[in-house]
Amino acid sequence: MAVELIKERKAVAMTGNQAIAEAMRQINYDVVAAYPISPQTELMGFFAEYLANGLVDTEFVTVESEHSAMSAVIGAAAAGARAMTATAAQGLLYMYENLPIASNWRLPITMVLVNRALSAPLNIHCDHGDAMTARDSGWIQLFTENSQEAYHSLIAAVKIAEKALLPAIVNMEGYIVSHTIGNVNLLTDAEVREFIGESDWRTNVPHPLLDTDNPVTYGATALPDYYTELKYAQHVATFEAKKYVKEVLEEFNQLAGTDYKIIEPYKLEDADFAIVVMGSSAGVARTAADQLREQGIKAGVLKIRLFRPFPYEEVAEALKHLKAVAVLDRHDSANGLASPLFQDIATTLYHLPERPMLHDFIYGLGGREVTVEDMLRAFNRLINLYTGRETRDRYVEYLQVRE
């Protein structure tokens, strides 16, 4: 059995990848399947060392591709295992075919996505382009700001996935979080294992393949007579998942003394202008908002933690009274309209009788550094658009481009 290594809570300095590997050790997954891709490689390396030293019971399937990584965790989860993989960018796209299958089958798989820009041009640094491709895959998606949050989120995600019976992605930004040392308060092994509960193939999924006395068919064809009903079942499950995310985060807060919510408003109650953002840039945006408040401008920030299912009710409540909102998209959908987060926010606010003006900024592509000055520029442009001092011909603009 897995060794109990951390018997008392402790604070350590860790990179995001180390923190995730630590969470994986404590969770003690039944099956992990992965294929190397930067910036995820290091994470699996740390985990493999735990394995090599007998600290976990996990079966580590070192597959020959990401497509097989997702296939193997689907096979493992359908068999009844608590299964996990991690990838980034091209790796996610290569395995993509299997993502909607995992979610329609309601398999509680967890995946760490170490966010990296999509090719071309090839780039190994952070943006959210990979996560955005999975936005319609039916997976729960959590975004995280730092190593601490990534560590906590993976532990919570195991329980969220198993309660909601949906697969879950924990996004951790490549290099910015994955390779940057930060303070991480570790829970004890016993606390983590008690929180997620013991893995049992009979109960992890409702119909395990390993139950040969009750044989089941996974992956039947459904033609026009049933396809709609089977998609509707998933549609309902996805809407209901938000409830489980809230429940589990609340349980987790009680355990760890944290205050995680599905969205994180910062000084929004009395704000006129706000930035909506996900991931590590939230901290930069908060600093910019504070600086503006010193100048008498009522600025705030909304950080989205739960990206899928999109918490539209909470977001509408948080933003409805604002004058103008800048949505920061760390990805360009190149669709001739605007990027995904903007579209989600716009859809969310459309139904309100009165709604803030919206503007979309594309920022931080391919690891481009995000500074307080960038955030101030976004705020200023937004305020100038709102007051009519400046005009626009599009809803979407690049924030940091050299023209």
Partner 1 sequence: MAKRKKFVNIPVLTHLAEESHEWPYENPLAPGHRMCPGCSIPPIVNMALLEYGKDVVTGSNTGCLEVTTGVFPYTAWTVPWIHVAFENNAAVLSGAEAAYRAFKKKGKIDKEIHFVSISGDGGTYDIGFQALSGAAERNHNMLYICYNNEGYQNTGYQRSSATPIGAFTKTTPVGSKIVGKEEKRKDLTLIMAAHEIPYTAQANPFNYKDFTRKIRKSKDVKGFKFINVLQSCTLSWRTKPEDAFRVLKLATESLYWPLYEVIEGKFWRINVKPSKPKPIEDYIAMQPRWRHVLKMPEILDKIKEEIYTKWDFLLRMEKLSKELAEDLGFTLDEIFEMSWDEYQEKVKPKLKEKTYLS
> Which C-beta is closer to partner 1: that of 60 or that of 395?
60
Helices 16-27, 147-164: crossing angle, 10 deg rounding? 40
234: contact with partner 1 by CB under 8 A = no
Going by C-alpha positions, the residue among 305, 297, 304 that lies closest to residue 378 is 297
Nearer to partner 1, 2 or 346 (CB): 2
Residue identified by tokens 């990296």 is 116
In eight-state DSSP terms, residue 122 is P
CB of 44 to partner 1, least distance (A): 15
**SS3 of residue 330 by DSSP:** coil
First to last CA, the chain: 59
Contact in structure between 108 and 205 (CB atoms under 8 Å): yes
SS3 category, 210: coil
Query: What mask of x and - would describe binding to partner 1 in positions 261 to 300, judged by CB under 8 A?
Result: ----------------------------------------
Site string for partner 1, 73-102 (x = CB under 8 A): xxxxxxxxx-x-------------xx--x-
In angstroms, what is the minimal distance from the CB of 204 to partner 1? 9
Residue closer to partner 1, measured from CB, 76 or 245: 76
Q: Is 263 helix (H, G, I), strand (E, B) or coil?
A: strand
Single out the segment in contact with partner 1 by CB under 8 A; choices: 65-73, 146-154, 170-178, 289-297.
Answer: 65-73
Q: Tell me which residues in 3-42 interact with partner 1 (CB under 8 A).
A: 30-31, 33
Query: Should residue 224 be labelled a site residue for partner 1 when binding is judged by CB under 8 A?
Result: no
Phi-psi sector, 28: left (phi>0), alpha (psi -120 to 50), beta: left
Question: What pairs with residue 85 in β-bridges?
Answer: 111
Among 210-218, 256-264, 308-316, 386-394, the segment contacting partner 1 (CB under 8 A): 210-218
Least Å distance, CB 103 to partner 1, is 13
Query: How many residues would you count in the chain?
Result: 403
* Residue whose token pair is 């402790």: 10
Task: Select from 215, 257, 296, 353 the one that contacts partner 1 (CB under 8 A).
Answer: 215
Tell me which residues in 348-387 interact with partner 1 (CB under 8 A).
Answer: none
Q: Residues 62, 183, 203, 254: which binds partner 1 (CB under 8 A)? A: 62
Q: Which of 52, 122, 230, 401 binds partner 1 (CB under 8 A)?
A: 230
Mode of pairing for the β-strands spanning 110-115 and 140-143:
unpaired
Distance of closest approach, residue 8 Cβ to partner 1, in angstroms: 26
Nearer to partner 1, 75 or 182 (CB): 75
Closest CA to 328 of 275, 386, 382, 390: 275
Binding window for partner 1 (CB under 8 A); candidates: 62-70, 114-122, 256-264, 371-379:
62-70
Q: Phi first, then psi: what are they for 105, rounded to 5°?
A: -85, -5
Binding of partner 1 at residue 216 (CB under 8 A)?
A: yes
For the CB of residue 145, give the shortest distance to partner 1 in the complex, in Å: 32
Contact between 292 and 376 under an 8 Å Cβ cutoff? The reply is: yes
- Considering only residues 120, 121, 213, 393, which one is a binding residue for partner 1 as defined by CB under 8 A? 213
Q: What are phi and psi of 261, to 5 degrees?
A: -125, 165
By CB under 8 A, which span of 53-61, 170-178, 273-281, 314-322 interacts with partner 1? Answer: 53-61
Neighbouring C-beta atoms of residue 116, cutoff 10 Å: 31
Query: Which amino acid makes up residue 256?
Result: A
Instruction: Answer whether 278's CB lies under 8 Å from 364's CB.
Output: no
Stretch that binds partner 1, among 55-63, 185-193, 256-264, 360-368 (CB under 8 A): 55-63
Q: Which CB atom, from 183 or from 228, has the smaller least distance to partner 1?
A: 228
Between CA 360 and CA 395 the distance in angstroms is 6
Which residues sit at the interface with partner 1, rule CB under 8 A? 1, 30-31, 33, 57-59, 61-65, 67-69, 71-81, 83, 97-98, 101, 200-201, 209-213, 215-223, 226, 230
